[in-house]
Amino acid sequence: HYDNPEIYDPEHFSAENVTKRDPFAFIPFSAGIRNCIGHRFAILEMKLTLASILRKYRIISMLPEEENRPIPEFSLKP
């Protein structure tokens, strides 16, 4: 499914490569009736971790304000 799967390459997950990849090539929690029972717990843990980071630290953009525009699709996509 990947070129050189034994080598760490962040480009495996780039937008261009994701569209070319088989949809079942990367399933971290499996799929179907026998999927991982910890899937929902793991997603909840990620959300809680992100929330605690956002409460503890002040996140600022390194882009100038005129270049830093919101992306409306972030909240509009299903």
Output the known binding site for heme: 36
Cβ-based neighbours of 39, under 8 Å, separated by 6 or more: 29
Decide: helix, strand or coil at residue 73.
helix
Annotated binding-site residue numbers: 36
CA distances from 45 to 40, 57, 67 (A): 9, 18, 32
